[in-house]
Structure 1
C-alpha cells in the first residue's frame, strides 16, 4: 500500500509507468467538471471510475480486495477513512464478484485507518485488503476516483 497526495512534489518517474500514468491523470483532470462514470486512460488495462458515495459507519462498510487489478483510490471532495490490513488466507469471503474483480470479506483483523482528505490517494495492491468510504467525523457524500490498473502491466 502507498499513501500520498497529488499536492506533494513527488517525482513520478519513481513509480512504475502505469502508476505514474494514473497519478498524472489524477493531477491533470478536473473531476468536479465531469459526470460520474468510467473513463479509459489506457483501454481496459488502466481506467478510472468516478462516483459519488455516502460514507458509512465502520460496521456497515465492507472490506474488499482484488485479484487482477490494483486500486489507486483518490479523494476528490469530502473526507473519509479507509481501513487497511494485510491479506490473511483465513479470512472468510462474503462474496466474490468475478466480473468486477471484487472480493468482499465477512470480517478482518488488525486494521489501520487512514484519514483521507481532498487530494489524497492510496494505492492498494492485491494483498492489501481495504475498507473504503468509512465515516470520518460525520456522514457525507464524497466524490471519489478509483483508477484500476491491471496488475500484469507492472510485470
Structure 2
C-alpha cells in the first residue's frame, strides 16, 4: 500500500509496466469532467471508475481485496477515509471470492484509516485489503484498475 500526493506519482512508474500509461492518462485527461462509471483506457488491462456521492460511514464500510487488478485511488474532491489491512491478517470473510467481479469482502476492521484528501492517492496491491468512499461529505474520486498480469502492452 502506498499513499502520496499526485505531484509525486511519477516516482512509482517503474513499479508496474502499465503504471506509466495510467500516469500519462491522469496528466492528459480532465478527470473532473468524466461522468460517473467505467471508462476504458487500455481494453480490460486499464480502466477507471469515476465515483461521486456522499460517503459511507466507517461502520458501513467493508474491507475488500482484488486478485486481478491493482487499484490506484485518486481523490478528486473531498477527503476519503480509506481503510487498510494486510490481506494476510483478514480472517472474517463475508463470502467467497467473486471471480467475475474480482472482489472478496471481509468483516475485519481496518488496521489503519488513511485520511486521503483532494489530489492525494493510494495504491492498493492484491495483498492489501482496503475500503473507501468513507466520508460524511460529498466525494469525487477516480479508481484506476490496472491488470496485475496484462494481456496487452502499451
CA shift for structure 1 position 9: 7.0
Question: Which residue of structure 1 aligns with residue 94 of structure 2?
Answer: 94
Alignment map for 1:25-40 (pairs within 5 Å): 25-40=25-40
The 2-side partners of 1:12 and 1:69 are apart by: 16
- Residue 84 (str. 1) matches residue 89 (str. 2): no
Aligned to 1:149: 146
Q: Deviations over 1:116-137 (max 9, x none)?
A: 11111111000101111222xx
- Mapped partners of 1:114, 1:122: distance in 2: 9
> CA distance change for structure 1 residues 68 and 9 in 2, over 3 Å: closer, same or farther?
closer
Unaligned runs of 5+ in 1: none
Cα distance between partner residues in 2 of 1:91 and 1:60: 18
TM-score, structure 2 as length reference: 0.86
Distance 1:93 1:77, change over 3 A: same
Q: Partners of 1:22 and 1:91 in 2: how far apart? A: 33
> Unaligned 5+ residue runs, structure 2?
none
**RMSD (CA atoms):** 2.1
1:7-46 equivalences in 2 (<5 Å): 7-8=7-8, 10-11=10-11, 13-46=13-46
Q: State the Cα distance separating 1:82 from its structure 2 match.
A: 0.7
Larger strand percent = 1
Q: Which residue pairs with 2:60 in the alignment?
A: 60
Runs of 4+ in structure 1 deviating by more than 6 angstroms, as ranges, are none
Deviations 1:3-56, CA, capped at 9 Å, x for gaps: 222223744644423122212222322122121121111111111111213212
TM-score (norm 1): 0.86
Q: 1:9 to 1:141 in 2, by over 3 A?
A: closer
Once the two structures are superposed, residues 98-132 of structure 1 have per-residue CA deviations (whole angstroms, 9 ceiling, x without a partner) of 211111102245x1121111111111000101111
